[in-house]
């Protein structure tokens, strides 16, 4: 563990190789153990799945290939979060923690193994967030509004509930002063482009179920039933939610320490985490999928907290979180066996 000193305080660098590499290796061990015990495999389409996801599930050639795709999508999403943080300066100090936390959250929840319909959807969502953030204070950002909505539309072909994040993006565009009648219409056109091609495919095949069935499940809400959930299944969720709340409060209470642009970006991520956790309780049939989307803003918000907060309790909280999430995974796997 590398310890850095300055004139006023002692600071621990959690993204130093001595910490980063062991945690990353522990996450890889989680994937290997899950592979050995076939957690989440075979992959199948649930009742709310789209026809495209059904087709992909049937086309997956084998267990090894499925786990490799899941790991690649996880690593790709983590890398995109790292690049977004580096380019847009979401955290005022350079750190690899957004990358590490995203991999940790995905690797320690057996509900995400090995491949879900949201695996590609979340990847598209991260790209859409980057497009949204780069439209900051640009009322002429029609191409970026179109691209962001297009990415959400593409992701919704695999997971239709991703469309619920489109209103959140409009709120973000409004707060970033890039929402105009033209950019709003561009975002609608982005989603319409995807479903225009889908409609053409349905007409050609003379089968409109790929167009109608997903939208039927989109508005079918059912509150999450908490009475049937085992306590150990809640531990990791509560830990991530608690850290997200603490990190959000820390950002709000010390907002003057970040630039105005960074504060607005972080405020959007706070709103996104609240939105994702709320939808988690509203859609019991796809609760795990919404929990995976919540890992995106939570990774950056929690990474911000552990990067800029310099207290001894923060040091121990970081390692306690890592141990808790990994231990919870193995307990759940033990119960699964």
pLDDT at 212: 75
pLDDT above 50 (res 6):
no
Residues 32-44 have pLDDT tens digits of 999 998 888 888 7
Distance of alpha carbon 293 from alpha carbon 273, whole angstroms? 8
pLDDT at 225: 66
Cα–Cα nearest to 176, from 220, 219, 199, 145: 145
User: 100 or 5: which carries more pLDDT confidence?
Assistant: 100
Report pTM: 0.91
Confidence of residue 284 (pLDDT cuts 50, 70, 90): confident
Distance of alpha carbon 246 from alpha carbon 305, whole angstroms? 8
Residues 123-174 have pLDDT tens digits of 999 999 999 999 988 888 889 999 999 999 999 988 889 999 999 999 999 9
Distance of alpha carbon 240 from alpha carbon 276, whole angstroms? 13
Cβ-based neighbours of 184, under 8 Å, separated by 6 or more: 145, 170, 173
For β-strands 3-5 and 10-12, DSSP reports them as antiparallel
Q: Are 303 and 334 in contact (CB under 8 A)?
A: no
pLDDT at 24: 93
Cβ-based neighbours of 142, under 8 Å, separated by 6 or more: 182, 183, 186
User: 155 or 10: which carries more pLDDT confidence?
Assistant: 155
Residue 283: both structure tokens together: 């859609």
User: If you average pLDDT over every residue of the chain, what do you get?
Assistant: 86
Residues 67-94 have pLDDT tens digits of 999 999 999 999 999 999 988 888 888 8
Distance of alpha carbon 89 from alpha carbon 254, whole angstroms? 16
pLDDT at 304: 92
Task: Write the burial class of residue 280 (CB in 10 Å: 0-12 exposed, 13-18 middle, 19+ buried).
Answer: buried
Residues 235-251 have pLDDT tens digits of 888 999 999 999 999 99
Residues 98-134 have pLDDT tens digits of 999 999 999 999 888 888 888 888 999 999 999 999 9
Task: Write the burial class of residue 290 (CB in 10 Å: 0-12 exposed, 13-18 middle, 19+ buried).
Answer: buried
Q: How many Cβ atoms sit within 10 Å of the Cβ of residue 11?
A: 18
Tell me the residue ranges of DSSP E strands in the chain: 3-5, 10-12
Cα–Cα nearest to 300, from 8, 59, 99, 133: 99
Distance of alpha carbon 182 from alpha carbon 295, whole angstroms? 32
Residues 11-58 have pLDDT tens digits of 567 777 888 899 999 999 999 999 998 888 888 776 667 888 888 888
pLDDT at 3: 42
The CA-CA-CA angle for residues 185, 188, 193, to 5°, reads: 120
Q: What are phi and psi of 4, to 5 degrees?
A: -105, 140
């Amino acid at each position: 563990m590398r310890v850095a000193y300055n004139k006023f305080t002692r600071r621990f660098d959690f993204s130093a190789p001595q910490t980063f590499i062991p945690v990353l290796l522990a996450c890889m061990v989680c994937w290997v153990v899950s592979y050995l015990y076939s957690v989440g495999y075979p992959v199948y389409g649930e009742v709310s799945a789209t026809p495209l996801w059904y087709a992909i599930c049937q086309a997956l050639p084998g267990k090894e290939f499925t786990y490799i795709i899941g790991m690649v999508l996880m690593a790709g999403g983590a890398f995109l979060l790292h690049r977004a943080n580096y380019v847009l300066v979401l955290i005022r100090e350079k750190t690899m923690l957004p990358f590490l936390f995203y991999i940790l959250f995905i690797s320690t929840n057996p509900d995400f193994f090995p491949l879900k319909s949201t695996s590609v959807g979340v990847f598209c969502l991260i790209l859409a967030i980057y497009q949204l953030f780069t439209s900051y204070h640009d009322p002429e950002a029609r191409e970026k509004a179109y691209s962001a909505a297009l990415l959400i539309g593409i992701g919704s072909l695999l997971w239709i509930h991703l469309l619920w994040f489109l209103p959140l993006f409009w709120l973000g565009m409004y707060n970033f002063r890039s929402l105009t009648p033209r950019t709003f219409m561009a975002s609608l056109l982005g989603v319409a482009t995807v479903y225009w091609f889908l409609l053409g495919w349905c007409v050609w095949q003379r089968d409109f179920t790929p167009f109608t069935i997903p939208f039927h499940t989109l508005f079918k809400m059912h509150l999450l039933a908490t009475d049937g959930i085992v306590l150990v299944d809640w531990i990791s969720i509560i830990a991530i939610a608690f850290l997200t709340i603490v990190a959000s409060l820390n950002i709000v209470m010390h907002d003057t320490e970040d630039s105005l642009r960074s504060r607005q970006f972080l405020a959007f991520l706070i709103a996104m985490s609240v939105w994702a956790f709320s939808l988690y309780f509203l859609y019991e049939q796809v609760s795990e999928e919404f929990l995976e989307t919540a890992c995106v803003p939570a990774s950056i918000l929690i990474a911000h907290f552990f990067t800029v907060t310099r207290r001894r309790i923060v040091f121990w909280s970081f390692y306690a979180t890592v141990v808790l999430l990994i231990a919870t995974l193995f307990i759940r796997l033990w119960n699964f066996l």
